[in-house]
Amino acid sequence: MFSELEPRPADPILGLSVKFKADTNPNKIDLGAGIYKDEAGHTPVLACVKAAEKHRFENETSKAYINSAGSALFNEKITALNFGDHKVVRENRVRTISAPGGTGALRIAGEFIRSCNPAASIWVSNPTWANHQGVFSAAGLQVKTYPYYDYENKCLDFTGMLTALKQVPAGDAVLLHACCHNPSGMDLDQEQWQQLAELARDIGFLPVIDMAYQGFASGLDEDAYGLRLMADTVEEMILCSSCSKNFGLYRERIGACSVIGASAASADIISSALLPVVRVNYSMPPAHGAAIVETILSSAELTSQWHIELKEMRDRIGSMRQLLVDTLVANGVTRDFSFITAQQGMFSFLGISKEQVQRLQDEFGIYMVNSSRISLAAIAPGNVDYLAQSIAKVL
């Protein structure tokens, strides 16, 4: 059976990490990995997470299975975090399940959509997170794209986006990034969210919102503006959220899939159809990450501490945007990179060529994907001069 297999290319980002680790350049910089790092280049365990883990270690009494939906307390707390005091929560129209990270939530959402409508396609932004197409294709959905980022002008192509989405058939799904668009960093403003919500309602396509970076743009509630407005406007939608970034729980693989129905009775039917999808995938979600999150969100003290730590991460990434632009100017770069400061979250496109990207890797030990997408979280005061000087040389 296995003798016919051919070697497959490595994932572009994961493959970069392997090359980076093997590089002996003492000044090397990994701008490819989408993971938060502090100024020392370390991905820390948050203090509030350590406190919650200590509490769990001292109080956990069983390693028995939970259930396919996951921890009821986690599901309640993450729904409140994502939606706030929203009418869909008050009307009991949301059903949330725990999932193995945001990726697991997206896969469950994809298979759930296919079980509801085998002919449905899902539309994703061009560009989008590199794994979106693979996850949804593996779930059996046809994946189509709509314009999103204007590479030439380094801005959002909202006109192209709106024009394309007006052609989406009723019954198809449209994936939207809640905030911190990966990979462009270009987010929708409130007026644009309003137009999209009205379009979804009028056409009848299903909004699927991916919120992997809540709290990394402007704040927890601010970053949830679009999804809450969408929930105000349409009767049905799906939210896939992740605790990897804002809680720093990358290894614990905990996220959530929340489905909104038109009524409480409809939501009950949705739940009955959603859980069998989970059962044949991973059967039961992992419990440890969910326990950490629910412990933090159940404690006023730990929640306050988390808010402080989350703000520190958000502010550091934002300051690195400005620092990079200023340092490029200080190193004689005349090309305008000010667009970087108008973006949100961890990512941006530098807008340089594949050849220049390769030169940065080969000559300077600076690693990024061919599209020139970089993670701002990898930049620090200690490496920004070397980075800017290297970019200046390849330009």
Residue 105 sits in the same domain as residue 240: yes
* CATH assignment at residue 74: 3.40.640.10
DSSP 247-260: S--TTT--EEEEEE
Sequence-ordered strand ranges (E) for 127-194 = 142-147, 149-150, 155-156, 173-177
Encoding tokens for residue 279?
């059962």
Q: So which residues are the catalytic ones?
A: 129, 210, 245
Residue 114 sits in the same domain as residue 261: yes
What mean pLDDT is predicted for residues 314-343? 97
The DSSP secondary-structure symbol of 85 reads: S
pLDDT of residue 46: 98
What mean pLDDT is predicted for residues 308-317? 98
**Whether residue 300 has pLDDT greater than 80:** yes
Mean pLDDT is lowest, of 5-19, 178-192, 381-395, for 5-19
- Residue 4: inside a domain: no
Residue 319 sits in the same domain as residue 340: yes
Query: What sign for the dihedral angle of Cα 18, 341, 228, 224?
Result: positive
pLDDT of residue 301: 98
- Residue 129: inside a domain: yes
Per-residue pLDDT tens over the stretch 121-134: 999 999 999 999 99
Domain span holding position 69: 65-298
- Rounded Cα distance between 333 and 98, Å, is 47
**Whether residue 12 has pLDDT greater than 90:** no
Contact 217, 344 (CB under 8 A): yes
Q: In percent, how much of the chain has pLDDT > 70? A: 100
pLDDT of residue 38: 96
Residue 201 sits in the same domain as residue 336: no
CA 165 to chain centre: 21
* CATH assignment at residue 28: 3.90.1150.10
Q: Which residues pair with 348 in a beta bridge?
A: 374
Residue 221 sits in the same domain as residue 346: no
**Whether residue 116 has pLDDT greater than 90:** yes
Encoding tokens for residue 22?
């093997």
Residue 155 sits in the same domain as residue 291: yes
pLDDT of residue 388: 98
Residue 147 sits in the same domain as residue 183: yes
Residue 246 sits in the same domain as residue 307: no
Q: Which helix (H) or strand (E) holds 313?
A: helix 300-330
Q: In percent, how much of the chain has pLDDT > 90? A: 95
CA 219 to chain centre: 15
Q: Tokens 């200080």 — which residue?
A: 330
Size of the chain in residues: 395
Instruction: Count how many domains the chain has.
Output: 2
pLDDT of residue 8: 85
Residue 145 sits in the same domain as residue 232: yes
CA–CA distances in Å: residue 78 to residues 89, 99, 155, 240:
12, 12, 32, 11
Residue 146 sits in the same domain as residue 272: yes
- Looking at 245, 273, 298, the residue that finishes a domain is 298
